[in-house]
Amino acid sequence: MQISFIKIKKKSDADKSKRTRNSEATFVIKQSPKRANPMQKTMDFSIRFLFLMLQFLIVLGCATKPGVRLDIQDKHVIMDNGIVQVNLSNPEGIVTGIQYNGIDNLLEVLNDESNRGYWDIVWDEGGKKRTKKGAKGKGRFDRMEATNFTVIVESEEQVELSFSRTWNDSLEGKLPPLNIDKRFIMLSGSSGFYTYAIYEHLKEWPAFDLDNTRIAFKPRKDKFHYMVVADNRQRFMPLPDDRSPPRGQVLAYPEAVRLVDPLEPEFKGEVDDKYQYACESRYNRVHGWICIDPVNSTGFWLITPSYEFRSAGPLKQYLTSHVGPTTLSVFHSTHYSGADLIMQFGPNEPWKKVYGPIFIYLNSLSNGFSPIGLWEDAKQQMVNEVESWPYTFPASEDFLSSDQRGKVEGRLLVRDRYISDAFIPVSGAYVGLAAIGEVGSWQRECKGYQFWTITDDKGYFSIINIRPGGYNLYSWVNGFIGDYQFDSVIYVTSGCETNVGELVYEAPRDGPTLWEIGIPDRSAAEFYVPDPNPMCINRLYVNHPDRFRQYGLWERYAELYPNEDLVYTVGISDYRKDWFFAQVNRKKDNGTYIGTTWQINFKLDSVNTNGTYTLQVALASVHSAELEIRINNLEANPPLFSSGVIGKENTIARHGIHGLYWLFSIHIQGTLLVQGNNTIFLTQTRDTSPFIGIMYDYIRLEYKR
């Protein structure tokens, strides 16, 4: 998209009967297929000047504002540093109001006070019986309302407040067996506030499951209409009213709604779904909303400076902001992972973890200029917060400062002996420390902390600010299948600097490549993603790199292959055009579904019947699917390979392009192959839902001499 300056115009009486965008300001957005990501281009001089002035004014304002003041009332506690005022319920610790930039409350005043800014958790009792389908219910929702309020720090430079809740046996079955301590911090001169929380499960307490935990804010719907998740993922958003009948029509699941009669006609026919704005943890640093006003625009941003406390590593996908308006910082969830990421605690399992701090950042811009400046400033503030991590000001002893942490460094090389005997430095590979486990277990690990970095162009890496403890070192390398794990446990202590030397990753390989499909990068993005149904479109993702985020793409398969399934011919077909991004079920005329069988046709000039071949099958995501593989005989029973029913990732329905990574190395006896034409049959057998399916990452046939 090309984003231009705001145009201010007078509205007619008819226009004013519709929802206005804050004092009649409209933000002009032009589609430009030649520049899918213009925000990465150099801003023109006026925007640069505006951005610098904004930074200067913020710094100047911070330098001249008074210290932090605390006002404790019977039902509320107010933190005020002269820039921002935050009102919290006493003793529950719910953010009921945020005053900034002349706006009495940035949060939704029409909501109950308990539904404006809050921490929450979804949990269940441990050992709860499963449903017939083998899955638990959605769990119990708890807004984590505290029962005790304590002032931890009070000075002109800083206020830190604690809102805590202590668990005891009388609460069994009613609340999750956790001690919870929610902290809120305001610093002098800061245009925002921080929050973090400490969860603790004692050894003697009962078992329970933790499905999801996060912090949520609900800005005012009459003011915040423009949402930003990334440079190329930002737009005006519909109102929440547009999602309710009769204005909105629920589609295949409640989160997806087609806007049939929205208050503003520009949204008519679009689909709104919060999952369209999900983001990988590694990129999920700052997002939020803008109140566009011709006199004084306001930004509401949620900044997560570290993902060390988030579950499942840098590739895990989380919700961000969506229609409400709502903005979230999610710390743990089962989205795009399923039951594998339910955090299960046994009855004799002690656990404590610090989530956060995160920063709620507010900025403003006068004179009615484009809100690009607010977003650019929010990104710069995010950089400042990342560089300040770990913070020095949290008062809890459970949050460790930099000098209490350690460092691990080394160098990563990769060798694929069927390409070269050389040990090649790996550039841009992720290397991280996570809980001790099996190879690749980091993507399912959720109780501990994870610390990741990327290698430089010579393969060197340095992982800093690691909390003391025992870890395995993990890595994966784009362009190579599988996962790397260092063969020794690494113990980190306060102040330590550990050099593990040169590490060599020898990716799984049995022989030279006969043919391959796709790119080994843990994603299905390189495959064919169809255009959406014109009746179910999100205009943001038209001519967009993330075209897979459109609703209903799974139904396009049956339109492309109404009678016969996909057939791919090695050497002729192009995976970018001829390999559908997901092996989904085909919808029949009667509304039911049928499993699908894809074919890979290939020629072999010769076959060693005494030899062994290997089919490397890397999956980018699976949902309740069973993959069966046969060679040259579709009726073979049993099949050469069956995965069994695996995966609960729901990636297809949630507009993702990957979930958890799966790798299968399948050995094929030479007697199953023939000289000349051969066919591999990939059958997905489950047929009860349109969302059952498989996303492939990469397939390769090798010959083992």
For residue 19, the one-letter residue type is R
Task: Assess contact for 60 and 135: CB atoms under 8 A.
Answer: no
32-58: pLDDT as tens digits:
333 333 333 334 444 444 444 555 544
pLDDT at 574: 98
Q: Where are the domains of the chain?
A: 69-222+284-388, 402-506, 513-704
Distances (CA, A) of 282 to 305, 314, 379, 430: 11, 5, 15, 11
pLDDT tens for residues 245-268? 999 999 999 999 999 999 999 999
Kindly state the average pLDDT of the residues 527-536: 95
Q: How many CB atoms are closer than 10 A to CB 664?
A: 13
To the nearest whole percent, how much of the chain has pLDDT over 70? 89
pLDDT for position 54: 52
Q: Are strands 406-415 and 460-466 parallel, antiparallel or unpaired?
A: antiparallel
- Span 513-704: which CATH code? 2.60.120.260
Q: pLDDT tens across 571-594, in order?
A: 999 999 999 999 999 988 888 899
Rounded distance between C-alpha atoms, residue 465 and residue 460, angstroms: 17
Superfamily of domain 402-506: Carboxypeptidase-like, regulatory domain (2.60.40.1120)
What angle, rounded to 10 degrees, do the helices at 372-387 and 45-64 form?
A: 60
Among left, alpha and beta (phi > 0; psi -120 to 50; other), residue 667 is beta
Residues 549-581 as b or e (16 or more Cβ within 10 Å = b): bbbbbbbbbbeeeeeebbebebeebebeeebbb
Report the top-level CATH class of 69-222+284-388.
mainly beta
451 contacts 432 by C-beta, under 8 angstroms = yes
The pTM of the full predicted model, rounded to 2 decimals, is 0.89
How many whole angstroms separate alpha carbon 177 and alpha carbon 205?
Answer: 7
Amino acid at residue number 151: V
Q: What is the pLDDT of residues 317-341, one digit of tens each?
A: 999 999 999 999 999 999 999 999 9
